Amino acid sequence: MTNEEQIKETVRQKYSEIAVQDKETASCCSQGSCSPEVYNMMNENYNHLDGYNPDADLGLGCGLPTQFAKIKKGDTVIDLGSGAGNDCFVARAETGEAGKVIGIDFTPEMIKKARINAEKKGYNNVEFRQGDIEKIPVTAAAADVIVSNCVLNLVPNKKAVFKEIYRVLKPGGHFCISDVVLTDELPDKLKEAAEMYAGCVAGASHKNKYIVDIYSAGFLKVKIEKEKNIIIPNEILSNYLETDELENFKKENPILSITVTGLKPSNDCNCNPGCC
């Protein structure tokens, strides 16, 4: 885990494995019926949302980004790290037949699974593209809304992603992202654990830096819409920490899930002095 490519390959391998598992195996931990895995213990309940497709819900999110995304009929929506398509299908219910939804994921197995799910539903305005969200495979100013659910923490260069989000949004467009952030440093043993990185924890940024990176990309009206504590079970922590280290970590509990929104200025000036 010494460079960006090694990190990406670790994540790719883990999520490829998840994609080819059946749903019961992939998400049983979120139901409390098996020993917990860090990558699927943070998800929220989608059952009440229009467009929800159980086959596309692998239990990998840490929020409900469409809840605050203000998607309108006819919008073009892009989901970064679309997985099996769960958030894309919820977004489609909101944008309607007149809109378009594009899911981006860098894991071929997830793209395949999402396309199968879309085909089963007969959705002709939802597509999935394989690509790296540090270089989003979409033309500039294409999207009205960008959403993402527990994905940016997996990306080494988060600044690059926010710049890409800015590029791909139309002037006046906005994003809504659910993600994992930190309020303090993680113990070294957790930072160095590949499973903790693939599980959205070890790659998380400090909350303040995360917000600064968003503003640095040029966004305005950045707002944390929702925030919740993420509790890692002792069964997981005990694999990496001694008893006293575990107790100290649990007292501080520096891991949060946030849902944050931001607006690209309508004049697309990137907030140069005197411009905004």
* CATH code of the domain covering residue 154: 3.40.50.150
Rama region for 59: left / alpha / beta (φ>0; ψ in -120 to 50; rest): left
Question: How many CA atoms within 13 Å lie on the side-chain side of 61?
Answer: 27
Higher pLDDT, 201 or 66: 66
- Least confident among 4-13, 90-99, 149-158, 175-184: 4-13
pTM: 0.86
Q: Does 159 map to a domain?
A: yes
CA separation (Å) from 240 to 32, 46, 232, 245? 21, 32, 12, 9
Q: Does 29 map to a domain?
A: yes
Residue-number span of the structural domain to which 220 is assigned: 4-263
Q: Does 117 map to a domain?
A: yes
The dihedrals phi and psi of 50, each to the nearest 5 degrees, come to -60, 140
Q: Is the pLDDT of residue 88 over 50?
A: yes
Q: Is the pLDDT of residue 46 over 50?
A: yes
Q: Is the pLDDT of residue 159 over 50?
A: yes
Higher pLDDT, 243 or 92: 92
CA separation (Å) from 91 to 65, 88, 107, 151? 10, 5, 21, 17
CA separation (Å) from 198 to 32, 44, 258, 271? 20, 19, 18, 34
Q: Does 276 map to a domain?
A: no
Taking alpha carbons only, the member of 161, 69, 170, 41 closest to residue 106 is 161
For 76, other C-beta atoms within 10 Å of its C-beta total 21
CA separation (Å) from 103 to 82, 92, 184? 5, 11, 32
Q: Does 273 map to a domain?
A: no
Q: Does 24 map to a domain?
A: yes
Q: How many domains does the chain have?
A: 1
Q: Does 274 map to a domain?
A: no
What average pLDDT does range 150-177 have in this prediction? 95
Q: Does 271 map to a domain?
A: no
Contact between 231 and 180 under an 8 Å Cβ cutoff? The reply is no
Strands 255-263 and 169-182: antiparallel
